[in-house]
Structure 1
Amino acid sequence: MRVLPSILSLAVCSSFAALASSSETAIERLTVQGDLRQQSVQQLAGSIAVVSEQDVKRTSAQHLDDLLSQFANVNFAAGASRGRYIQIRGIGERSEFVDTINPSVGILIDGIDYSGLGISGISDIAQLEVFRGPEASRFGANALAGMLNLTSKGPTATAEGKVSATLANYASRQLAAQYSNSLNSKLGYSLSLEQQSSDGFIDNAFLNRDDTNNIDEFTGRAKLAYQATDALALTLITHITDQDNGYDAFSLDRNRTTLSDEPGQDQIRSKALAVKADYSGLPFATFQGQLSWLSADGDYGFDEDWSYVGIHPDEYSTTDRYLRARDQLTLDYRFVSTPEGKLDQSDWVLGLYVANKSFDLTRQFWNWDLWQADSFVSSLNRTNAAVYGELTTPLNSGWSLVSGLRLERYDDDYSDSSANAIKNHDTMWGANISLNYQVNNQALIYLLASRGYKAGGVNGDALAKAADGNLAELNSKASFKPETLYNAEFGVKGSALDQSITARVAAFYMWRDDMQVKGWLNPDSGPQFAGFIDNAGSGRNYGIEMENRLQLHPQLALFVSASWLKTKLGRYVTLDGDNFSGREQAQAPRFQYSLATDWYITEALTFNLSLQGKDSFFYSDGHNARSSRYELLGARLSYQLANWELALWTRNALDQDIGVRGFYFGNDPRDGYQPHVYEQFAEPRRFGASASYQF
């Protein structure tokens, strides 16, 4: 394939061009908040993308979904009102039904674990970091394939505020406000509020409504910072999320027109609290710690038949509803060595992580074996404990060796209404070692090897179906093992003194051992499915990713990111006898690219243009349904007037149908339940106007 050498040549040439024009005195401004030492992105081994507030504005992004297309080797799946399940380098989950998922890609917001819940508002984003590849040493079991780390805006020394409003098609509205200040030299605060609403992009022909897949989301975040002493800084963080969205996304006619008589819902109400401490009074190290608590209640359900009573004599009419409650308490603290100005001195980090999480589920569904409404209740309590560390050892001028290790144990206590009571536990370990050559402050060449992991678990749905007696073959799928990921990576990063060139490129090869895949059993080709997580032997994922920024002219900047990815399933034969061994993995497009420009026409007038493209990919590891290749075109014209900014924008200007979740089965009684590819589509053509006032 010629595309790989082309991308590799472009990426390496631009990276070394940046190295050649860099300088010892250049200062990189992008500090990675999720790093153990919070270093510059140009001084960290590993493939890391950093998005600032300006990057969000460039694409008129209102939600995480709108941002993900610009990242190389990042994909996502919906199956809900929003994209909630993220894949990096082809690895990640696609849904969560009966069984509690173990995320391969986690999400942190201000250090609080939102993995599996997704992100609602991003209007107060200060920085978003995308870590690609196994990050067990930094983040543990929820970072098998990577991690998204979002930092919201915090207190400021002087009063700062912003109010913004957006109106767009499909009756979309967004109102956001942020304010920060300090009461005195020791006490500061920040507050951000956001409300989003939209009718959604679905027409329900049976109910004659256009809002059955609506968006109604509120997000509130606040921070209180207290400088208790010269050496001790305390921060109190609070989050509130109230998501009351509809869910009516799949159509029997395989378009944006549904026939549901009982549209579903996708509701999440969560609250979180965290206390963060930084103490620099020790002679040998700085202490950093955070204690966080999160509670979330979810109500997710849908019209299982996607139709109405009376559509056909062979019809069925059922709904499926999942009521979830999640509570978690997490403690993470570490000691970071204090540098003494000696170039030959080792730098170290030593930390401890403890978490307790409980997941309670009540599923309300139609039991086809009993031919009556039924419910299934399960409870999972998981305790994690880990110790981790990292050591940076200088070798000689510019060379260093960075090594990290994390040991983690989890203990699961599972029970359900089918009289199952199972205890699982395992001890896992992750590691990283990199040989780095720091050319200067702006340029790095590295060779990295890392090992990641994620926990195993219990297949409660399989156990329940096996207990019914009709699906005894599911007894062999009662539980699944942890997965391990090995990664080898070579990377080059560089930026010029005048920031006219910034380039990063990484080539990687990953080996998945006991890879976890989602399997389904449909014994009678009817509406009854049994889902379970299976281990599919091994898998391969390898490729390349790059990100470049070029200042072509004082008034024109170009942003380029691209990736090429090759994946392969190990030996995997489903319970239905389908052999997918050797096939490409799900949610793993072979190529992705993103082009964007900033054209400063005048001091007040700016034009942004963006184009993202993605190859087709399989929707699942258990069937051959594929998405379509697509291109996303966006544009934004903004005018700055004193403290005001006015903007006109469009997303998906070509109005392409972009699949974000897909299934392959029969669900239409009008054609005798013949199997089809059913897809959920992302937003169609969007256009709107935004205004903001900053003070």
Structure 2
Amino acid sequence: MHLRLFLLAGIAAGAFSSPALSQQTDAVTETPQIGGTPSSIGTGARDEDAIIVTATRRSQQAQDVPIAVSVVGGEHIDSTGSFNVGRLQQLTPTLQFYSSNPRNTAVNIRGIGVPFGLTNDGIEQGVGIYIDDVYNSRVASATFDFLDVAQIEVLRGPQGTLYGKNTTAGAINITTRQPTFAFEGRAEVSVGNLGYRQAKAAISGPLSGKVAARLALSSTSRDGTIYNVTSRQKINEQDNLGLRAQFLWEPTTALSVTLAGDYSEQDPECCGTVFVKTGATQRPLARQFAALAAAQSYAPVSLDPFDRLTDLDASLNAGNKLGGVSLRANWDVGPGNLTSVTAWRFWDWKPENDRDFTGLPITIRSMNPSQQDQWTQELRFTGRLGALDLVAGAFGFKQKVRTQGVQEQGPAASRWLLSGALANDPSVLAGLRADNDIRLDNTSAALFGQVSWHVTDALTFTPGIRVNYDKKNGLYDSVVTNAQGQLVTFASTDPRIVAQRGVLAPQRFDVAYNDWNLSYDLKASYELTPDVLAYATYAKSFKSGGVNLNGVPADTQGNPILAAATVQPESVNHYEAGLKTQFWGRRATANLAAFRTDIGNYQALVTNGQLGVLRGYLASAGAVRSQGVELDFSVRPSARFNAYVNGAYTDARYRKFVDAPCPPELSGGAIAAPGQAPSAPGTPSGISPANCDISGQRLPGVSKWSFSFGGEATLPATVLGLTGEAYAGYDGSYRSNFSSNPTPSVYTWVDGYSLHNFRLGFRSDRGINLFGWIRNAFDQHYFEQLQVPSGNTGLIVGNLGDPRTYGFTIQAQF
């Protein structure tokens, strides 16, 4: 793969070696430099110039924007190894990222955004991901490597007026480096332990007097961090390739058109878990993990998860491809600027999983390959009329998703999943198979506008509004057959088929949803001094209603309960106040925000305790709220030193969820009759409640306290005749404990942890940067996520965080 990358880089360099390029570059005498301390994480502050962001869909200085926004510069992304959103969360405390594989990924801000658990294609995320103004509807895009990124803005709080219905929690706005008419290039190579190899290259320059181009390439590979004793392979590896080409046409000073295309692929043997522990449930003791394992002479390969050993026996794969084409046009029309963004994107997902999480052949195949196409069109006008700054536009979205699911049971399934005489007959469930056809067609359209009224030089009011229409059509069709080729149906009374449909149940339904919604907000900001901005915000927003595409509960005759096939839109009320300040001659920057977000009809994931019956469906959880305080602080006393501390206190809870699924310690027993008291948690053969009231409990995945902190110091130095600066950098993060299950369980609290990363290097004045790095320097043992496999056996498995890694990087800029 790396040979392919460098061959492509060579071809790109040759393409730019044209007469037009030579004529242009003859006049360029100054070589771009890497030297100088990087921007500060969070505030984005730097020694020279102001940080410019596009959070309001027009360019503004970050300190002038009345929005809580974290800014991370591209140079810090490169130097800290934060090459995807998962790594980015270590630098931005209010961002949460959880991924058991690319499809089952959650990106939340302030604890809200998307249900925690298996992905349901029929809903949308609450954190919008935008790359160069193009919306990426599938959260899997967050797992790919950042490619030639100039800057990332994490916008906190609802952004529905300008960024759409999918941003009730916030947005991640990624800006890549653009084509230039001055020739420039950059290259980077990193090597490290665990077979880590990463190469990046970018080249930009003119093709003619009016056309410029930029080509960027990236490749990352690394050995897996877990050893599978069954396949004798390391799993959870990295294997990423990314390409982007951009062409800029500037026929006049008033018009620019950029055509961009990108392609990324991943093909790792991923994503596996390790045994963590077992916890008592309310199933009979003979049906809990220890007894079931002993009955088949099975024991986990290790009882210590940080031995990093697993014995998963099904094939693992997380292969996926993502890419698209966009056309962006910016036209200065005199009173303002007109922008058009037209884009098509695709995502192909080819997974293989071990859904029983053990080395036994219980579920021998589990996969949901999926293909998605999306088309978006945005027209936007920005301008100024007297004391008014205007933004107005229209947005259209079309999405098609097709998924083909397969689940097949193996010879150990009967003993594990059944009771009585049938449990001793492997042929009952061996070869039992569900083939799923899942389809979604999603259409959305919106009109939006925002006005900033500068009442005085200091006081500004900014109202905004967005009208949105959504239409979703879905199909879920699961056909179940046994090893004899018989259809498994609810009409049959054959005891074997009755047992089989208790494990994999057939179901088919069509579902449709459409609705209009209105978002609006009002911001007021006041410049107390030239360096102190106070602001307050109220926002009324929503997240679109959805359709359930993982199956729904059925009645006693097996008919789908269609009332559960749709889920209502979330209704969001958001309140925020903040201060943006600079002092000490603008050497220090401190931004403070306090917020409260109330959500009605919160879209929560509900899971069924039996293996294979349901993969999880959506239901309205009543109400939740998230509130807290955030601080981004950076200080730059001299050009030789900078430091930052970013912190967040987040209290995110279910305000009302009276019929939630119960945690494993209260599941698996006979369901309590009306008036009957449930047994104590973890009582074998106990009485389980039909559902649980978890009102007041914490939302999953949210740490009350989270921090990022770091700094860099430099000294003048000369190395091998090159003048420049030596530097030492440090970046750390801390988060307190969090729940790793939609319903909090005593078995799934992840302990708090801290991570510490160091780098030591030399930057020359001529664009060379060499540094060694060590990440998770103290080899902190931590879980990214704990999972509760279905079946109520008490098994808990985990996704491990990376161990200590170290290596060396060389960067060149010319």
TM-score by length of 1: 0.89
1:89 deviation in Å?
Answer: 0.5
1:440 deviation in Å?
Answer: 5.5
Q: Does 1:241 align with 2:264?
A: yes
Matches within 5 A, 1:169-208: 169-208=193-232
1:216 deviation in Å?
Answer: 0.9
Of 354, 369, 375, 1:323 maps to: 369
> 1:312 corresponds to which residue?
none
> 1:566 corresponds to which residue?
651
> 2:331 corresponds to which residue?
279
> 1:362 corresponds to which residue?
404
> 2:516 corresponds to which residue?
427
> Given that residues 646 and 690 in structure 1 are in contact (C-alpha distance below 8 angstroms), is that contact kept between their aligned partners in structure 2?
yes
1:35 deviation in Å?
Answer: 2.3
What CA distance in whole angstroms lies between the structure 2 residues aligned with 1:263 and 1:627?
A: 28
1:474 deviation in Å?
Answer: 5.6
> Given that residues 107 and 149 in structure 1 are in contact (C-alpha distance below 8 angstroms), is that contact kept between their aligned partners in structure 2?
yes
Q: Does 1:135 align with 2:181?
A: no
- Structure 1: state its 5+ residue gaps: 1-17, 310-314, 668-672
> 1:578 corresponds to which residue?
692
- Cα-to-partner distance string for 1:163-182 (whole Å, 9 max, x where unaligned): 11111111111011000112
> 1:6 corresponds to which residue?
none
> Given that residues 443 and 493 in structure 1 are in contact (C-alpha distance below 8 angstroms), is that contact kept between their aligned partners in structure 2?
yes
> 2:575 corresponds to which residue?
488
> 1:56 corresponds to which residue?
77
> 1:413 corresponds to which residue?
473
> Given that residues 399 and 437 in structure 1 are in contact (C-alpha distance below 8 angstroms), is that contact kept between their aligned partners in structure 2?
yes
What CA distance in whole angstroms lies between the structure 2 residues aligned with 1:194 and 1:539?
A: 41
> Given that residues 470 and 515 in structure 2 are in contact (C-alpha distance below 8 angstroms), is that contact kept between their aligned partners in structure 1?
yes
SS of the residue aligned with 1:307? coil
What CA distance in whole angstroms lies between the structure 1 residues aligned with 2:563 and 2:691?
A: 15
> 2:772 corresponds to which residue?
648
SS of the residue aligned with 1:138? helix
- Structure 2: state its 5+ residue gaps: 1-42, 276-302, 418-427, 478-506, 662-689, 717-723
Q: Does 1:659 align with 2:783?
A: yes
> 1:457 corresponds to which residue?
546
What CA distance in whole angstroms lies between the structure 2 residues aligned with 1:176 and 1:397?
A: 45
> Given that residues 33 and 151 in structure 1 are in contact (C-alpha distance below 8 angstroms), is that contact kept between their aligned partners in structure 2?
no
1:441–1:193 distance in 2 versus 1, CA, 3 Å: farther
1:498 deviation in Å?
Answer: 4.6
1:488 deviation in Å?
Answer: 0.7
Between 1:577-586 and 1:618-627, the stretch displaced more is 618-627
Of 137, 154, 168, 2:192 maps to: 168
- Cα-to-partner distance string for 1:569-607 (whole Å, 9 max, x where unaligned): 022222541221110111111010111011113342110
- Cα-to-partner distance string for 1:106-148 (whole Å, 9 max, x where unaligned): 2111222223122322241101010000110111121110110
Of 15, 31, 39, 2:52 maps to: 31
What CA distance in whole angstroms lies between the structure 2 residues aligned with 1:437 and 1:364?
A: 57
1:84–1:182 distance in 2 versus 1, CA, 3 Å: farther
> 2:424 corresponds to which residue?
none
1:350 deviation in Å?
Answer: 1.1
* Structure of higher CA gyration radius: 2
SS of the residue aligned with 1:466? coil
Q: Once the two structures are aligned, what percentage of the paired residues are identical?
A: 21
> 2:682 corresponds to which residue?
none
SS of the residue aligned with 2:408? strand
> Given that residues 356 and 789 in structure 2 are in contact (C-alpha distance below 8 angstroms), is that contact kept between their aligned partners in structure 1?
no
> 1:384 corresponds to which residue?
444
> 2:291 corresponds to which residue?
none
What CA distance in whole angstroms lies between the structure 1 residues aligned with 2:615 and 2:58?
A: 45
Counterpart residue type for residue 347 of structure 1:
D
> 1:112 corresponds to which residue?
134
Q: Which has the higher strand share?
A: 1
> 1:5 corresponds to which residue?
none
What CA distance in whole angstroms lies between the structure 2 residues aligned with 1:583 and 1:577?
A: 15
What CA distance in whole angstroms lies between the structure 1 residues aligned with 2:192 and 2:165?
A: 40
Q: Does 1:404 align with 2:464?
A: yes
> Given that residues 700 and 744 in structure 2 are in contact (C-alpha distance below 8 angstroms), is that contact kept between their aligned partners in structure 1?
no
Counterpart residue type for residue 141 of structure 1:
K
What CA distance in whole angstroms lies between the structure 2 residues aligned with 1:158 and 1:276?
A: 21
What CA distance in whole angstroms lies between the structure 2 residues aligned with 1:395 and 1:103?
A: 36
What CA distance in whole angstroms lies between the structure 1 residues aligned with 2:126 and 2:468?
A: 16
> Given that residues 586 and 617 in structure 1 are in contact (C-alpha distance below 8 angstroms), is that contact kept between their aligned partners in structure 2?
yes
SS of the residue aligned with 1:404? strand
1:462–1:583 distance in 2 versus 1, CA, 3 Å: same
Q: Does 1:337 align with 2:383?
A: yes
SS of the residue aligned with 2:808? strand
TM-score by length of 2: 0.76
What CA distance in whole angstroms lies between the structure 2 residues aligned with 1:107 and 1:95?
A: 19
What CA distance in whole angstroms lies between the structure 2 residues aligned with 1:469 and 1:359?
A: 30
- Cα-to-partner distance string for 1:605-658 (whole Å, 9 max, x where unaligned): 110012200011111222422111000011001112333211100111121223
1:53 deviation in Å?
Answer: 1.7
SS of the residue aligned with 1:245? coil
What CA distance in whole angstroms lies between the structure 1 residues aligned with 2:102 and 2:597?
A: 32
> Given that residues 103 and 119 in structure 2 are in contact (C-alpha distance below 8 angstroms), is that contact kept between their aligned partners in structure 1?
no
> 2:113 corresponds to which residue?
92
What CA distance in whole angstroms lies between the structure 1 residues aligned with 2:344 and 2:101?
A: 25
Of 222, 225, 243, 2:245 maps to: 222
What CA distance in whole angstroms lies between the structure 2 residues aligned with 1:98 and 1:81?
A: 13
> 2:809 corresponds to which residue?
690
Between 1:193-202 and 1:639-648, the stretch displaced more is 639-648
> 1:616 corresponds to which residue?
737
SS of the residue aligned with 1:117? helix
- Cα-to-partner distance string for 1:47-84 (whole Å, 9 max, x where unaligned): 11111123223423233322211113111101116994
> Given that residues 391 and 404 in structure 1 are in contact (C-alpha distance below 8 angstroms), is that contact kept between their aligned partners in structure 2?
yes
What CA distance in whole angstroms lies between the structure 1 residues aligned with 2:377 and 2:102?
A: 31
1:157 deviation in Å?
Answer: 2.2
1:660 deviation in Å?
Answer: 2.0
> 2:86 corresponds to which residue?
65
> 2:355 corresponds to which residue?
304
SS of the residue aligned with 2:233? coil
> 2:525 corresponds to which residue?
436
Counterpart residue type for residue 522 of structure 2:
I
Matches within 5 A, 1:490-505: 490-496=577-583, 498-505=585-592
> Given that residues 85 and 97 in structure 2 are in contact (C-alpha distance below 8 angstroms), is that contact kept between their aligned partners in structure 1?
no
> Given that residues 666 and 675 in structure 1 are in contact (C-alpha distance below 8 angstroms), is that contact kept between their aligned partners in structure 2?
no
> Given that residues 246 and 266 in structure 1 are in contact (C-alpha distance below 8 angstroms), is that contact kept between their aligned partners in structure 2?
yes
What CA distance in whole angstroms lies between the structure 2 residues aligned with 1:349 and 1:78?
A: 36
> Given that residues 381 and 413 in structure 1 are in contact (C-alpha distance below 8 angstroms), is that contact kept between their aligned partners in structure 2?
yes
What CA distance in whole angstroms lies between the structure 2 residues aligned with 1:665 and 1:398?
A: 56
What CA distance in whole angstroms lies between the structure 2 residues aligned with 1:248 and 1:588?
A: 23
SS of the residue aligned with 2:777? coil
1:285 deviation in Å?
Answer: 2.5
Q: How many residues align?
A: 652
Q: Does 1:152 align with 2:152?
A: no
1:379 deviation in Å?
Answer: 0.9
